[in-house]
Every structure is written in structure tokens, then in C-alpha cells.
Amino acid sequence: MALKYVMINDIIEEHNARMQNLRKYYPFFVLAETTFAQYKEGKYADLDMGYITMAVLRFFIQENNFNEREVGYSEYEAFMSQLLDRDFDVWIADEDRSELILYIFDKIKNDGKAFEFSFYDPAKKQKKTGRIKLIDSRISDGKVLYYITADGIEFYLDTKEIKDESKISVQQLLLEKMITGENFRGGIEVVKRINSEVNRLVREKDEIVDMLSIDVFKGAEEYENYMKTVGKWFAEEQKLFAKNKALVDKAISKASYDHTYGGNSKVMEEISELELELKKTILKHGSLINSTLELQNISDNIIHKAKLKKLRPAFDFNGQLQQMIEQDRPDKMFTVLAPLFAPKINKTFAMTSIDHMLTLKSEDGARTIKVNKEQTDAGFRYEDELLDEQIGANFGKLFYELMDRINRWGTLTLREFNGILEIKFGKEIYENKDYYSFLTHLAQKQEYNIKEMLKKQDTMLEGIVVEYLMSWTKQQGKNDIGAGACDADAGNEGVLSREMYAPDLSFDCFKDLKFTLTFDHEDEIKIGEDMYVTSITFHKV
């Protein structure tokens, strides 16, 4: 009885969802049934609308998403003109060409209207209409621009993956469309597919490691193929992850502060679930990149050991015999046995060499040194400990400069902050990795409250800053947070480097400081050759 109930529930309750999923295929079959038999008295009846539709969708995916270019009608017309000449043995009259290309385009975009089909919803006992567009348009600067919809991309990907492109990148292009179109439930499904692909690549990497331990030559070949196909896409995938994460953050901010969705709790839950799934995928993808880099070291070590084994002085008689049997080459026995029947060579040891051995003086003048306990350095630091201290010192210096400037000006842009740092430390600061690491950690939060930060540190950056600034304060004999002068210029000028700084620190004017970060992803600041950072504006609250 329970099984029968489950079956009936599948039929009735899930029918609407199945129809909504099937609707993305509907336009293709409508277009595929379109024939050119009635057009121009059948002159172009050999043209295939199904093939043309798929080709046009691929063209828009390439231009809109991979090349990130806007597509006007002229670009589409040039593409179609080449396609018709190249892929069909149909002669097209010059006076008909433009009209034919426009006729095809009108069919694909359905004269600007959505494709519609009706179906019955048994749960609500009513007729419903499914609507879908493959190509849509918008007007920008007085020019009509065309783009492929999220449904169009999803339909194309369902038919076959795009060749020579990262599946993760392609799915992220679809995710971007989903988020922009506020289809957060569809975005969750896309992220899950991305997560599945990341898991597959992790398994593939593990299989390569196993193969290297069994057959080093085949494993090395698999490793090379893996790096040529998967490794080259990592940078592009990371860039798209950052872009989509920013879109999700923007959607959360929009829903929280502007009440865009009218307090719709379901939409907020979908956005939160999408953010959580995307964070999981980003972490897994980062782990995949790190393990792939480790794979390179593992591969090099295994191949190196295999080469040494090939040089071993032993001869594998059993292996050679088995190889001869498999190849049916008994004549190779001569090569193996001939050295064994060679003339015996007697080797002698000259007696005079004994005198040389007895009178040989060792050149090793090393003497043992006894180390006393009192000679050990109690304040010794390992290199990684010193590096942590130096990174923390630089983070503390940069954060202090940022607080000081925001507190004075109220509003500060990253360009202005960079200018202040250049004056204090010189342009060499852009050669210091801690500058970029600081900005990366700083961007983890969109608001900082110094009073709350002193009580509880939510991020690694906050922990480092509080630890080192408080440490410097104590070193200067300032055991109270409010000690010192607020208007003093922070620190000594010079080049930010791997050296410790002890600025004249004071929290008195900062303990009530609150400030927010606003990111402008459209504006990128060039700070060196092929080096860019996203523009940030800091606002004092």
C-alpha cells in the first residue's frame, strides 16, 4: 500500500516539475519541424533548421560567455553567412542572402516572443502554460544586443558537453545566468553538478597516483594528459568562482538591506543554500588545486626512482625469458647467453698497493665538538616562526594605516590608500606578497567593528592584527587600550618588508571605529604589469 502511495505521489505531485524541466527542449523540436519547402518556392528546402539552431546557440555561448562580448545583428549575420556557405551545398542568390538570414533569425527568436506549450497539472487540476526563450535581446546605447538565455545554455549543455572546454567553467557560466536571473533554485542544482565534477577530478587524480605505483610509464602518460586538460583550466575556473561568489554576496546584501524579495523567506533560504553549496565547492576546488600541485612532486619522485631502478646492476633472467616467449623470439637467447661463454678474465691485486693502503693518511680532520647546555639559545626561533611574526607585523602595520586614514577622512578608496602606502613605503610595496595577502583576508568581511574585534576575532586577519598590535602596545609600556595620542602619524616611513615594525600605536581614537567595505567589480586598479586588484571603498559608519 505504501509503495502504491509513493507511485501515485510521483505521478501527481512531480508532474508539474517534470513538465517545467521538459520545456527547455520544446523550442528545438518546434524549430526542427520548420522546413524551407514553402520559403521562396522551395529553393532552400535542403537547409536543416535543427542543425542551424544548435549552431546559433553555440555561437552565442562562445561570444556572450567565453569571449564576454556583446552580439549585435551584424555579428550574427556574418556568422550565418559563413555557416550557410560552408555547411550546405545550396547556392544562395545574393539578393536572397540577407532576407534568408533574417528569416532564420526570426524563427529562432520566435519574433521576440516566448515559445509556449500547454500541459495539465493534476495536483491543481488546471491547465498551465510553459514559456521559454532561447535568444533574448536588450537595448544598450541605442543599439539592439542579443544574448542566449539561461534556459538556452542549459538545453545546449544537456545535449552534449562543449568540446575542449572545462566542464566546471561551462557550468559556472550557466550559474552566472541563473543568479543574474534570480533563479536561485536552478543555481543550487548547477552548483551540485559542479561539485560532482570536482569530485570526479579528485578521483581521477587519485587513480593517477595508483597507476604511477603500478605502471610508472602509463601513469606518467596519464599524468601528462591530466595536466594538459585539467591543469590549464584552474586559473579560469578560480576567476569564475570569485565572480559568482560576488554575485551571491550581492544578492544576499540586496535581499537583506533593500528587502527586494518582500520578506519572501523561501527565496532567502534558497540564496543561503546556494551560498553554502558554493562555499563547499570553492573549498573542494582549492583542495583539488593543492593536491594537483602535490601530484607533480609525487610523479617526479616516482619517475626518478624508476629511472634509478632501470640502472640497477642485476639482470632479470625470468623477465627476459617471459618476454622471449611472448614475442616468440628464441634467437634472443644468444644475446643473453653469449657473455656467459666469453673468455674468463683474471683480475689480480698488486701487492705494492698494500703499502699504499697502510701508509695512506686520512684527509678527514673533523673533530667532535661537545655542546654544553649553557650554550643553547633559549630565544631561538625556527624560520617558519620568524616568518609568521614578520607577516603578522606587516598585517598589523597595514591595518593600522587603514584605520588611521578612515578615522581622519571618513571615506577612503583603495586608490587613495595605495597612494598613502606608496608615499610611506615606496612603490616597492607592490613587490611584497603580504600586501596582496592582506587585501585578500580583508575582503572576507564587509564590515569591521574595532570594539567587537577586540573582544572576539572572527577571522585570521583580526586575530593576527589584535595579537600584534596589542603586543607592540605592551612592548611600549601601554597596558591600556586608550593610551597614547590619536593624531600621531602611525609608524616610521620606509619600505614595507620582512622586517618588524613597532609604530607608536594607540587605540584610543579607534576603539569606537566602525567601517564598511564596498566592492566595485567593474573597476579594476592596475598596480603593475598584468597585475590588477578590485576597487574597494571604505566608509566610516
Least confident of 60-64, 269-273, 328-332: 269-273
Residue 318 lies in a domain: no
What is the pLDDT at residue 138? 84
CA terminus-to-terminus distance, the chain: 63
The cell for 322 is 617471459
Residues 103 and 211 in one domain: no
Using the predicted structure, report yes or no on whether residue 183 has a pLDDT greater than 50.
Answer: yes
Question: Of 269, 297, 312, which residue is a domain's last?
Answer: 312
Burial class (CB within 10 angstroms; exposed 0-12, middle 13-18, buried 19+) of 339: exposed
Residues 87 and 169 in one domain: no
Let me know: does 155 contact 28? Beta carbons within 8 Å. Answer: yes
DSSP letters, 92-121, are --HHHHHHHHHHHHHHHTGGGSPEEEEEEE
Residue 326 lies in a domain: no
Residues 241 and 192 in one domain: yes
Residues 98 and 207 in one domain: no
Residue 344 lies in a domain: no
Residues 151 and 232 in one domain: no
Residue 492 lies in a domain: yes
| Pairwise pLDDT comparison (476 vs 434), residue with the higher score | 434
Residues 418 and 306 in one domain: no
Residue 339 lies in a domain: no
Least confident of 373-377, 383-387, 458-462: 373-377
Using the predicted structure, report yes or no on whether residue 89 has a pLDDT greater than 80.
Answer: yes
- Residue 52 is inside which H or E element, if any? helix 49-60
- Tens digit of pLDDT for each residue in 253-294? 766 655 555 556 677 777 777 778 778 777 777 777 777 777
Q: Which domain holds residue 85?
A: 1-160
- What are residue 286's phi and psi, to 5 degrees? -65, -40
Nearest to 465 by CA among 395, 384, 391: 395
Beta strand residue intervals within 54-191, DSSP E: 115-121, 126-132, 135-140, 143-148
Whose cell is 632479470? That residue is 316
What is the pLDDT at residue 411? 92
Highest mean pLDDT among 25-29, 338-342, 374-378: 25-29
What is the pLDDT at residue 495? 43
Using the predicted structure, report yes or no on whether residue 502 has a pLDDT greater than 50.
Answer: no
| Mean pLDDT of the 384-409 span | 85
Using the predicted structure, report yes or no on whether residue 385 has a pLDDT greater than 60.
Answer: yes
Residues 130 and 181 in one domain: no
Question: Of 112, 139, 160, which residue is a domain's last?
Answer: 160
Residue 450 lies in a domain: yes
What is the pLDDT at residue 504? 45
Residues 298 and 405 in one domain: no
Using the predicted structure, report yes or no on whether residue 15 has a pLDDT greater than 80.
Answer: yes
Question: Of 132, 160, 188, which residue is a domain's last?
Answer: 160
- Tens digit of pLDDT for each residue in 99-141? 999 989 999 988 888 888 888 888 888 888 888 888 888 888 8
Residues across the chain: 541
Give 492's pLDDT tier (boundaries 50, 70, 90).
Answer: very low
Residues 183 and 298 in one domain: yes
What is the pLDDT at residue 312? 53
| Mean pLDDT of the 307-323 span | 69
What is the pLDDT at residue 370? 60
Residues 155 and 174 in one domain: no
What is the pLDDT at residue 482? 38
CB-based contacts of 256: which residues, under 8 Å, 6+ apart?
none
- Tens digit of pLDDT for each residue in 141-150? 888 899 888 7
Let me know: does 149 contact 41? Beta carbons within 8 Å. Answer: no
Residue 508 lies in a domain: yes
Distance CA 430, CA 439 (A): 12
| Pairwise pLDDT comparison (536 vs 222), residue with the higher score | 536
Residue 133 lies in a domain: yes
Number of domains comprising the chain: 3
Cα 173 to chain centroid distance, Å, stands at 12
| Pairwise pLDDT comparison (514 vs 426), residue with the higher score | 514
Beta strand residue intervals within 347-417, DSSP E: 411-413
What is the pLDDT at residue 360? 64
Computed over every residue of the chain, the mean pLDDT equals: 76
| Pairwise pLDDT comparison (374 vs 387), residue with the higher score | 387
pTM of the model: 0.39
- What are residue 512's phi and psi, to 5 degrees? -105, 10
Residues 96 and 203 in one domain: no
Residues 108 and 49 in one domain: yes
Distance CA 165, CA 234 (A): 12
| Pairwise pLDDT comparison (360 vs 180), residue with the higher score | 180
| Pairwise pLDDT comparison (308 vs 118), residue with the higher score | 118
Least confident of 268-282, 340-354, 514-528: 340-354
